[in-house]
Structure 1
Amino acid sequence: MEELIAEKSDWEEQKKESNMTWDSVDKEIFEILYQKTALVSDLQVQKNKKEVLLRQRDSLIQRVNKGKSRYAELETKILAGEELCKKHAASQESR
C-alpha cells in the first residue's frame, strides 16, 4: 500500500512538473509571437519610411533637374544679352 501511495505521489509530482513545463513552453511561445508581431510591425514602419524617402528623393531629383534646366536657359539668355551689348557697344564706337 505504501508503494502505491509513493507511486501516486511520484505521479502527481511528475504531473505538476509536466504542467509547469507546458506552462513555460506556452509562455515562451507567446513571448516569441509577441516579439514576432513587434518585429513585423517595425518592419512595416521601416518599409513605409523607405517609401516616403524614395518619393522625397525622386521629388528632389525632379526639382534639381528643373533647376539645372532653368539655369541653362538663363545662362543662354545672359550670353545672348552680353553678345547684344557687345554688338551695340561696337556699333556705338563705330559711329
Structure 2
Amino acid sequence: MINVEIYTKGYCPYCHRAKALLDEKGVSYTEYEVSTDQARQQEMRERSGRRTVPQVFINNRHIGGSDDLMAANHSGLLDELLSSHAAKTA
C-alpha cells in the first residue's frame, strides 16, 4: 500500500492545490493539519528541513511543497512513484 502524507494548514491555497492534485489522481493520503499543533510543525520541519506548507511525502520520500509536487506531476515522476510502488506490491 502506498503511503502518502501531507502537512497542511487550513487557510493555505498551496495546500488546497496539492490536495486537489492528489484527489484528482485518486490517491489516498494522511493529512496532518499543523496550524495549531506545534509538535506536528516540529515533526514536519525535522522531516523536510522546511518551514512552509504543504510538505508532501510518498513512502517516506520527501517530494516537497506544492510547486515540487506539480513539477513531479508534470515530469511524470509522480505517476512513476505512485505506480512503481503499486507494481511492487501486486
Query: Which is helix-richer, 1 or 2?
Result: 1
Work out which of the two has the higher radius of gyration on C-alpha atoms and give 1 or 2.
1
Same fold (TM over 0.5): no
- TM class by smaller structure: under 0.3
TM (normalized to structure 1)? 0.18
Query: Which is strand-richer, 1 or 2?
Result: 2
Q: Which has the higher contact order (CA 8 A, sep 6+)?
A: 2
